[in-house]
Structure 1
Protein backbone atom coordinates (compact mmCIF):
# COMPACT_ATOMS: atom_id res chain seq x y z
CA UNK A 1 0.00 0.00 0.00
CA UNK A 2 1.29 3.44 -0.92
CA UNK A 3 1.94 6.03 1.76
CA UNK A 4 -0.12 9.22 1.94
CA UNK A 5 2.85 11.20 0.65
CA UNK A 6 3.33 8.80 -2.28
CA UNK A 7 -0.30 9.29 -3.32
CA UNK A 8 0.09 13.08 -3.28
CA UNK A 9 3.36 12.87 -5.20
CA UNK A 10 1.52 10.74 -7.77
CA UNK A 11 -1.15 13.44 -8.04
CA UNK A 12 1.44 16.09 -8.94
CA UNK A 13 3.17 13.67 -11.32
CA UNK A 14 -0.11 12.97 -13.11
CA UNK A 15 -0.76 16.68 -13.54
CA UNK A 16 2.76 17.40 -14.78
CA UNK A 17 2.30 14.68 -17.42
CA UNK A 18 -1.09 16.01 -18.51
CA UNK A 19 -2.93 13.01 -17.08
CA UNK A 20 -5.97 14.69 -15.52
CA UNK A 21 -7.93 11.43 -15.42
CA UNK A 22 -5.12 9.79 -13.42
CA UNK A 23 -5.20 12.69 -10.94
CA UNK A 24 -8.99 12.50 -10.67
CA UNK A 25 -8.73 8.74 -10.10
CA UNK A 26 -6.80 9.36 -6.87
CA UNK A 27 -9.78 11.20 -5.37
CA UNK A 28 -12.50 9.84 -3.09
CA UNK A 29 -15.98 9.93 -4.63
CA UNK A 30 -17.00 12.62 -2.10
CA UNK A 31 -13.82 14.73 -2.16
CA UNK A 32 -14.10 18.25 -0.75
CA UNK A 33 -12.00 20.76 -2.72
CA UNK A 34 -11.37 24.22 -1.23
CA UNK A 35 -9.46 26.88 -3.18
CA UNK A 36 -8.26 30.38 -2.28
CA UNK A 37 -8.80 32.02 -5.66
CA UNK A 38 -11.55 32.48 -8.20
CA UNK A 39 -11.91 28.83 -9.26
CA UNK A 40 -14.71 27.37 -7.17
CA UNK A 41 -15.61 23.72 -6.90
CA UNK A 42 -19.32 23.57 -6.11
CA UNK A 43 -20.28 20.33 -4.46
CA UNK A 44 -18.22 17.23 -3.95
CA UNK A 45 -16.60 14.62 -6.14
CA UNK A 46 -13.97 14.32 -8.87
CA UNK A 47 -16.39 15.43 -11.60
CA UNK A 48 -16.99 18.68 -9.71
CA UNK A 49 -13.22 19.21 -9.40
CA UNK A 50 -12.82 18.68 -13.14
CA UNK A 51 -15.63 21.15 -13.95
CA UNK A 52 -14.82 23.81 -11.34
CA UNK A 53 -11.04 23.71 -11.45
CA UNK A 54 -9.31 21.66 -14.14
CA UNK A 55 -11.31 22.88 -17.16
CA UNK A 56 -11.28 26.62 -16.32
CA UNK A 57 -7.62 26.47 -15.22
CA UNK A 58 -6.59 24.94 -18.55
CA UNK A 59 -8.68 27.50 -20.44
CA UNK A 60 -7.25 30.52 -18.62
CA UNK A 61 -3.55 29.59 -18.60
CA UNK A 62 -1.65 28.78 -21.78
CA UNK A 63 0.79 26.82 -19.63
CA UNK A 64 1.12 26.10 -15.95
CA UNK A 65 2.78 23.72 -13.52
CA UNK A 66 2.67 22.98 -9.84
CA UNK A 67 6.17 22.49 -8.50
CA UNK A 68 6.18 20.97 -5.02
CA UNK A 69 9.42 21.58 -3.13
CA UNK A 70 8.65 20.19 0.31
CA UNK A 71 6.30 17.63 1.87
CA UNK A 72 5.29 17.42 5.52
CA UNK A 73 3.34 14.33 6.52
CA UNK A 74 1.46 13.45 9.68
CA UNK A 75 -0.65 10.32 9.36
CA UNK A 76 -3.27 10.86 6.66
CA UNK A 77 -2.50 14.57 6.29
CA UNK A 78 0.11 15.82 3.82
CA UNK A 79 1.17 19.43 3.40
CA UNK A 80 2.99 20.28 0.21
CA UNK A 81 4.80 23.57 -0.22
CA UNK A 82 5.73 24.75 -3.66
CA UNK A 83 5.14 27.11 -6.52
CA UNK A 84 2.52 27.58 -9.20
CA UNK A 85 4.22 28.74 -12.39
CA UNK A 86 2.06 29.74 -15.30
CA UNK A 87 1.59 31.98 -18.33
CA UNK A 88 -1.79 33.64 -18.57
CA UNK A 89 -3.42 33.00 -21.95
CA UNK A 90 -4.92 36.50 -22.34
CA UNK A 91 -2.29 38.78 -20.81
CA UNK A 92 0.74 36.68 -21.74
CA UNK A 93 2.18 37.46 -18.32
CA UNK A 94 4.05 34.89 -16.27
CA UNK A 95 3.07 34.18 -12.68
CA UNK A 96 5.15 32.56 -9.97
CA UNK A 97 2.97 32.09 -6.90
CA UNK A 98 4.01 30.24 -3.76
CA UNK A 99 1.45 27.82 -2.35
CA UNK A 100 0.69 25.52 0.55
CA UNK A 101 -1.62 22.60 -0.18
CA UNK A 102 -3.15 20.62 2.66
CA UNK A 103 -4.30 17.14 1.65
CA UNK A 104 -6.35 14.74 3.76
CA UNK A 105 -6.54 11.11 2.73
CA UNK A 106 -9.03 8.45 3.71
CA UNK A 107 -8.68 4.78 2.79
CA UNK A 108 -5.91 5.54 0.28
CA UNK A 109 -7.89 8.24 -1.57
CA UNK A 110 -7.74 12.03 -1.44
CA UNK A 111 -10.76 13.07 0.64
CA UNK A 112 -10.07 16.78 1.15
CA UNK A 113 -7.91 19.48 -0.40
CA UNK A 114 -7.27 23.00 0.92
CA UNK A 115 -5.25 25.55 -1.02
CA UNK A 116 -3.39 28.60 0.25
CA UNK A 117 -1.70 30.60 -2.52
CA UNK A 118 -0.21 34.01 -3.23
CA UNK A 119 -3.34 35.44 -4.84
CA UNK A 120 -1.60 38.77 -5.52
CA UNK A 121 0.92 37.06 -7.82
CA UNK A 122 -1.97 35.41 -9.70
CA UNK A 123 -3.88 38.69 -9.96
CA UNK A 124 -0.83 40.50 -11.39
CA UNK A 125 -0.60 37.99 -14.25
CA UNK A 126 -4.31 38.27 -15.00
CA UNK A 127 -4.12 42.05 -15.65
Structure 2
Protein backbone atom coordinates (compact mmCIF):
# COMPACT_ATOMS: atom_id res chain seq x y z
CA UNK A 1 0.00 0.00 0.00
CA UNK A 2 1.32 3.46 -0.84
CA UNK A 3 1.77 6.11 1.83
CA UNK A 4 -0.41 9.15 2.47
CA UNK A 5 2.00 11.57 0.79
CA UNK A 6 2.23 9.38 -2.32
CA UNK A 7 -1.58 9.26 -2.56
CA UNK A 8 -1.77 13.07 -2.42
CA UNK A 9 1.04 13.42 -4.98
CA UNK A 10 -0.83 11.00 -7.22
CA UNK A 11 -3.96 13.17 -6.91
CA UNK A 12 -2.11 16.29 -8.11
CA UNK A 13 -0.43 14.29 -10.87
CA UNK A 14 -3.75 12.99 -12.16
CA UNK A 15 -5.26 16.49 -12.14
CA UNK A 16 -2.27 17.90 -14.02
CA UNK A 17 -2.84 15.30 -16.75
CA UNK A 18 -6.57 16.06 -16.97
CA UNK A 19 -7.49 12.71 -15.41
CA UNK A 20 -10.42 13.86 -13.25
CA UNK A 21 -11.90 10.32 -13.03
CA UNK A 22 -8.54 9.03 -11.78
CA UNK A 23 -8.34 11.82 -9.17
CA UNK A 24 -11.90 11.10 -8.03
CA UNK A 25 -10.99 7.40 -7.79
CA UNK A 26 -8.46 8.22 -5.07
CA UNK A 27 -11.25 9.49 -2.82
CA UNK A 28 -13.08 7.54 -0.15
CA UNK A 29 -16.81 7.07 -0.85
CA UNK A 30 -17.65 9.41 2.06
CA UNK A 31 -14.93 12.06 1.53
CA UNK A 32 -15.52 15.42 3.21
CA UNK A 33 -14.34 18.33 1.01
CA UNK A 34 -14.07 21.88 2.41
CA UNK A 35 -13.13 24.89 0.24
CA UNK A 36 -12.54 28.54 1.08
CA UNK A 37 -13.78 30.20 -2.05
CA UNK A 38 -17.10 30.46 -3.84
CA UNK A 39 -17.35 26.78 -4.82
CA UNK A 40 -19.33 24.66 -2.40
CA UNK A 41 -19.36 20.90 -2.08
CA UNK A 42 -22.73 19.97 -0.56
CA UNK A 43 -22.57 16.55 1.04
CA UNK A 44 -19.99 13.81 0.95
CA UNK A 45 -18.51 11.65 -1.76
CA UNK A 46 -16.54 11.94 -5.00
CA UNK A 47 -19.71 12.68 -7.02
CA UNK A 48 -20.41 15.71 -4.80
CA UNK A 49 -16.81 16.92 -5.29
CA UNK A 50 -17.19 16.57 -9.06
CA UNK A 51 -20.51 18.49 -9.06
CA UNK A 52 -19.61 21.19 -6.53
CA UNK A 53 -15.98 21.79 -7.44
CA UNK A 54 -14.55 20.15 -10.56
CA UNK A 55 -17.35 21.05 -12.99
CA UNK A 56 -17.73 24.71 -11.93
CA UNK A 57 -13.94 25.15 -11.71
CA UNK A 58 -13.49 23.91 -15.28
CA UNK A 59 -16.37 26.09 -16.47
CA UNK A 60 -15.01 29.27 -14.84
CA UNK A 61 -11.31 28.94 -15.68
CA UNK A 62 -10.10 28.43 -19.25
CA UNK A 63 -6.93 26.93 -17.80
CA UNK A 64 -5.59 26.30 -14.33
CA UNK A 65 -2.94 24.34 -12.51
CA UNK A 66 -2.20 23.33 -8.94
CA UNK A 67 1.51 22.97 -8.36
CA UNK A 68 2.54 21.67 -4.94
CA UNK A 69 5.95 22.93 -3.83
CA UNK A 70 6.19 21.34 -0.38
CA UNK A 71 4.68 18.42 1.52
CA UNK A 72 4.51 18.09 5.30
CA UNK A 73 3.38 14.66 6.50
CA UNK A 74 2.48 13.22 9.87
CA UNK A 75 0.74 9.85 10.02
CA UNK A 76 -2.50 10.14 8.00
CA UNK A 77 -2.27 13.92 7.54
CA UNK A 78 -0.54 15.59 4.61
CA UNK A 79 -0.23 19.35 4.18
CA UNK A 80 0.69 20.51 0.71
CA UNK A 81 1.80 24.07 0.05
CA UNK A 82 1.79 25.35 -3.48
CA UNK A 83 0.53 27.62 -6.20
CA UNK A 84 -2.77 27.89 -8.06
CA UNK A 85 -2.41 29.58 -11.43
CA UNK A 86 -5.41 30.10 -13.63
CA UNK A 87 -6.79 32.17 -16.48
CA UNK A 88 -10.35 33.29 -15.83
CA UNK A 89 -12.61 32.44 -18.76
CA UNK A 90 -14.76 35.62 -18.63
CA UNK A 91 -12.15 38.27 -17.77
CA UNK A 92 -9.05 36.74 -19.35
CA UNK A 93 -7.13 37.74 -16.22
CA UNK A 94 -4.52 35.47 -14.69
CA UNK A 95 -4.60 34.58 -11.01
CA UNK A 96 -1.57 33.42 -9.05
CA UNK A 97 -2.63 32.34 -5.58
CA UNK A 98 -0.68 30.54 -2.89
CA UNK A 99 -2.50 27.69 -1.16
CA UNK A 100 -2.28 25.25 1.72
CA UNK A 101 -4.22 21.99 1.40
CA UNK A 102 -4.75 19.69 4.36
CA UNK A 103 -5.46 16.08 3.43
CA UNK A 104 -6.35 13.02 5.48
CA UNK A 105 -5.61 9.65 3.88
CA UNK A 106 -6.72 6.31 5.34
CA UNK A 107 -6.10 2.92 3.76
CA UNK A 108 -4.89 4.56 0.55
CA UNK A 109 -8.01 6.71 0.08
CA UNK A 110 -8.45 10.44 0.66
CA UNK A 111 -11.04 10.85 3.42
CA UNK A 112 -10.97 14.62 3.92
CA UNK A 113 -9.67 17.79 2.30
CA UNK A 114 -9.47 21.36 3.63
CA UNK A 115 -8.40 24.27 1.46
CA UNK A 116 -6.77 27.54 2.48
CA UNK A 117 -6.06 29.89 -0.45
CA UNK A 118 -5.38 33.54 -1.21
CA UNK A 119 -8.99 34.42 -1.94
CA UNK A 120 -8.09 38.03 -2.81
CA UNK A 121 -5.86 36.86 -5.68
CA UNK A 122 -8.73 34.71 -6.95
CA UNK A 123 -11.29 37.54 -6.59
CA UNK A 124 -9.11 40.03 -8.48
CA UNK A 125 -9.05 37.77 -11.54
CA UNK A 126 -12.83 37.45 -11.50
CA UNK A 127 -13.56 41.19 -11.99
State the partner residue of 1:63: 63
Tell me, in whole angstroms, the C-alpha distance in 2 between the residues paired with 1:105 and 1:2: 10
Alignment of 1:26-41 (within 5 A): 26-41=26-41
State the partner residue of 1:2: 2
Alignment of 1:73 with 2:79, yes or no, is no
Tell me, in whole angstroms, the C-alpha distance in 2 between the residues paired with 1:106 and 1:6: 12
What TM-score does the superposition give when structure 2 sets the normalisation length? 0.99
What TM-score does the superposition give when structure 1 sets the normalisation length? 0.99
State the partner residue of 1:90: 90
Contact 2:4–2:106 (CA under 8 A) maintained in structure 1? no
**Deviation for aligned residue 1:107:** 1.5
State the partner residue of 1:16: 16
| Divergent runs of 4+, >3 A | none
Contact 2:29–2:46 (CA under 8 A) maintained in structure 1? yes
**Deviation for aligned residue 1:113:** 0.1
Alignment length, in residue pairs?
127
- Which segments of 5 or more consecutive residues in structure 1 lack a partner in the other structure? none
Secondary structure, aligned partner of 1:125: helix
State the partner residue of 2:44: 44
- Which segments of 5 or more consecutive residues in structure 2 lack a partner in the other structure? none
**Deviation for aligned residue 1:108:** 1.2
Tell me, in whole angstroms, the C-alpha distance in 2 between the residues paired with 1:18 and 1:76: 26
Across the aligned residues of Structure 1 and Structure 2, the Cα RMSD in angstroms comes to 0.3
